[in-house]
């Protein structure tokens, strides 16, 4: 598979996913992704994206400012 932006090669990697909401910031460390070796763009597969959505939805209801979690624990 190639990068959507620059057509570079993608490799399996992990990243830190940051969500900035109106009232809080959620940081999900060690999130699995595909990363472009040329431009550094990151892409999530469907399962990871769905898990991130569930994690953010659950955390935004219980935190007031900032949350930092590991992907595997989320």
Length of the chain: 74
Q: What is the mean pLDDT of residues 43-72?
A: 93
pTM comes to: 0.87
Which pLDDT score, from 0 to 100, does residue 69 have? Answer: 94
Express each pLDDT in 8-42 by its tens digit: 999 999 999 999 998 899 999 999 999 999 999 99
Question: pLDDT band for position 64 (50/70/90)?
Answer: confident
Q: With pLDDT > 70 as the criterion, what percentage of the chain qualifies?
A: 97
Structural domains for the chain: 10-70 (3.10.20)
| Residue 68: closest CA among 25, 31, 32 | 25
């Amino acid at each position: 598979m190639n990068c959507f932006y620059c057509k570079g090669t993608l490799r399996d990697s992990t990243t830190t996913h940051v969500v900035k909401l109106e009232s809080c910031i959620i940081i999900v460390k060690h999130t699995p992704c595909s990363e472009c070796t040329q431009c550094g763009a990151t892409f999530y597969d469907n399962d990871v994206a769905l898990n991130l959505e569930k994690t953010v939805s659950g955390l935004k209801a219980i935190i007031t400012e900032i949350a930092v979690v590991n992907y595997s624990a989320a």
